[in-house]
Amino acid sequence: MKVNNFVYYNPTKIYFGNEQLIHLSEEVKKYGDKAILIYGGGSIKKTGFYDKIMKVLGDANIQVSECAGIEPNPQYTSVNRAAKISRDNDCNVIIAVGGGSVIDAAKVVAQAHFYEGDCWDLVTKKVDEPRALPLIVLPTMASAGSENDAWAVISNADTNEKLDPWHPGYQPTVAFIDPEITYTVGKYQTAVGVADIFSHIMEIRYFVKDHKIEFVSEMMEVMAKNVVKYGTIAVNEPENVEARQNLSWISAMITGGIMDVGVVQDMALHMTEYGIAAFYEISHGHGIAILFPRWMQYILSEETASVFYHFGQEVFCIEKGLKAIDGAQKTIEALGDWLYHQMGLESRLSAFGVEETKLHDMAVKATENCGGVLHSLTTLTTEDVENIFKMCL
Amino acid sequence: MKVNNFVYYNPTKIYFGNEQLIHLSEEVKKYGDKAILIYGGGSIKKTGFYDKIMKVLGDANIQVSECAGIEPNPQYTSVNRAAKISRDNDCNVIIAVGGGSVIDAAKVVAQAHFYEGDCWDLVTKKVDEPRALPLIVLPTMASAGSENDAWAVISNADTNEKLDPWHPGYQPTVAFIDPEITYTVGKYQTAVGVADIFSHIMEIRYFVKDHKIEFVSEMMEVMAKNVVKYGTIAVNEPENVEARQNLSWISAMITGGIMDVGVVQDMALHMTEYGIAAFYEISHGHGIAILFPRWMQYILSEETASVFYHFGQEVFCIEKGLKAIDGAQKTIEALGDWLYHQMGLESRLSAFGVEETKLHDMAVKATENCGGVLHSLTTLTTEDVENIFKMCL
């Protein structure tokens, strides 16, 4: 089968490993000597990572302005605040330290630095600003893979919207990925990060209808199998270096483009999860984890069974030789067992206070930016999404 | 096991698929309007590819100077000739159309454009020239993967040397990879190209001593398995689009850096093959194909057996449950069967006129740039290399 034509381009330079921080100042100085440091709730101060970064920058006489307090599901208001600090201090390079939320916010700050209006204009694509400051990112957990792509997810609490714009200026210039930094990520955050990585492989790039290059699909099976293996290890042994380096590198590789070749991403589950996040405080990866097996169950049919069963054999070692529908069922059960028992994630939306009366509104929210229909292996209407939510209650 | 620290950076923009040539002129015009077109023996004229390229460039009013006649195992004299044409015509972008030899030559031309002396000074690193013209490459076969890396292999018939310098300026700016262009590559050239791709995975990146990230090794097994599968198909069905697109994308991906993570490349077989090429006209990929199973046989031991057997299970479906040494032996036989029977490659150096009296000189040549010792899974002295040559006679 002929694959769709595609363009592959990823200019992000990645330093991988510990002790790479010594190269931070030389990278900053390629672009200037006034940096804005963007981070979240301050856990980088507790772990000592903040001090290490400030020492490297201070030793190189780099002037640092700061914007702390980027929230999970980052708000456009935080982007506006950071962009103002960046402009007011004539910053010429952005340094983002944190999880996907901090990095996503920093991406839009890089662009908003050049736009004095409300950054929501940029997020909604009402305005285009082609310029962006160079962006250096230091991810502190393996999860979104935002350190190696040009997507940003930004929320607007005023309009109850969560959008995911793509812009070439959002591609990080340099990323420092230190798996050992993620030792301090707790059991729960590790688990939801792992669920997010898993969905980036399986939902967004593997369970799609497009013609793919066969070996690329097989490489995704290898990645998913290792996410299952090392995800479980990392949850139980936070300082297992092999587990952390596998997860860190997989999360970056999967978003970096090499697995996208010819694939048209539809992100049905991600869109569905946005319907939850619009109304409830629930971590993105956890929402995905609750949805994934139920989505598979809902769309299980003669048509999808063989795809699910093949995946189960490769990733969960489901025995060969079963009828496709039985193998698929065992696959779904194995996925649920991994997420809810081995990884210890709560399996029900009701545990987060989600009420049945809200499910319809959530489903409308999930599909409204996609013309009321989500695509992946099958088509999901708003009603389908509501039915999947019911299975998750 | 902790992986070595590494830096990953690959800014080459790749257009993949047919009908992408329409983007050639827009890419050229980012850098200028005077291009030098570098190619080989003229097969691109027979296939009509030359006319298509010239039409796209002509329609965009791009002035084209030409340098034809780059030979297999490109000579430094050809690089000097092309660089002079480029300088004399004030070219500001280089377009290379052909196999790895043409692309390798063009890489050094990009740098030599700025250096009026002998390009051999650059190849030997006697002189550094940090500047390089932007380089746009259009590979016509799947083989060296030169379209996606910063290595160039250049020969010097005067000194009987073949060197492989790396320089950041050698990284192609843009690559147009059209698997359907490779339909016209004949059975023999397809087979030697496939052998070269295979060695770039297995020899250079897989059979190494370093600590690797586990899933990356597993992805290499996936790639190698698909090279075996689709290599055999492409040799027998030259217009099988699936085979050609798998081979084209694997050859580019394997050299692009994602499989290098933490690996120190030693290239024992590549160096050994240079010992052949220094004295005999034999295609690089074919030399590798003759050497590979004999090298495995020569270094087979209790220590290497389990590595070879695991590889055999993953790539050649060798049955599980054997003693490691027996499984490794079956793996070596399967590799030989694939290369010499299914792919139809001659298995003996003597068929190319290689004489036993020359083997010592060849072995000295192979090891002399590496202090007399080659490294990979084991250490090979000059005497070891000569012994391997004897097995290949």
Instruction: From chain A, pick out residues whose CB is under 8 angstroms from the CB of B214.
Output: 226, 242, 246
Compute, in degrees rounded to 10, the torsion defined by CA atoms A228, A234, A240, A241: 70
Confidence (pLDDT) at B377: 87
B261 part of contact set with chain A, CB < 8 Å:
yes
Nearest to B343 by CA among B292, B379, B278: B292
Backbone angles phi, psi at A271, to 5 degrees: -65, -40
A301 part of contact set with chain B, CB < 8 Å:
no
% of chain B at pLDDT higher than 70: 99
A19 part of contact set with chain B, CB < 8 Å:
yes
Q: Cβ of A214 and B226 within 8 Å?
A: yes
Nearest to A255 by CA among A373, A177, A144: A144
B11 part of contact set with chain A, CB < 8 Å:
yes
Confidence (pLDDT) at B212: 76
Mean pLDDT by 10 residues, chain A (393 residues): 89 95 97 97 93 97 98 94 98 97 98 97 97 98 95 92 92 98 95 96 85 87 97 97 96 92 80 90 93 97 95 97 98 98 97 97 92 90 97 97
Q: Which stretches in chain B have pLDDT values below 50?
A: none
Instruction: From chain B, pick out residues whose CB is under 8 angstroms from the CB of A6.
Output: 16-17
Instruction: From chain A, pick out residues whose CB is under 8 angstroms from the CB of B12.
Output: 9
Nearest to B362 by CA among B160, B78, B223: B160
- Between the alpha carbon of residue A91 and those of residues A42, A65, A113, A139, A262, the distances in Å are 22, 8, 9, 21, 38
Q: At what angle do helices B268-277 and B359-368 cross, to 10 degrees?
A: 130
Do residues B242 and B249 touch, judged by C-beta distance below 8 A?
no
- Between the alpha carbon of residue B3 and those of residues A18, B210, B263, the distances in Å are 10, 8, 8
How far B20 CA sits from the closest chain A CA (Å)? Answer: 8
Confidence (pLDDT) at B262: 78
How far B206 CA sits from the closest chain A CA (Å)? Answer: 15
Domains parsed from chain A with CATH numbers = 13-183 (3.40.50.1970), 186-392 (1.20.1090.10)
Do residues B177 and B191 touch, judged by C-beta distance below 8 A?
no
Confidence (pLDDT) at A94: 98
SS3 of A339-386: the string is: HHHHCCCCCCHHHHCCCHHHHHHHHHHHHHHHCCEEECCCEEEHHHHH
Write down the ipTM of this complex: 0.93
Confidence (pLDDT) at A109: 98
| Closest chain A residue by Cα to residue B261 | A16
Instruction: From chain B, pick out residues whose CB is under 8 angstroms from the CB of A14.
Output: 7-9
Q: Cβ of B5 and A19 within 8 Å?
A: yes
A213 part of contact set with chain B, CB < 8 Å:
yes
Measure CB to CB from residue A258 to each of B4, B222, B253 and give the nearest one: B253
Confidence (pLDDT) at B379: 92
Instruction: From chain B, pick out residues whose CB is under 8 angstroms from the CB of A30.
Output: none
Confidence (pLDDT) at A295: 96
Residue of B225, B245, B264, B320 to mutate, testing the A interface (most A Cβ within 10 Å of its Cβ): B245
Nearest to A6 by CA among B174, B16, B175: B16
Confidence (pLDDT) at B154: 95
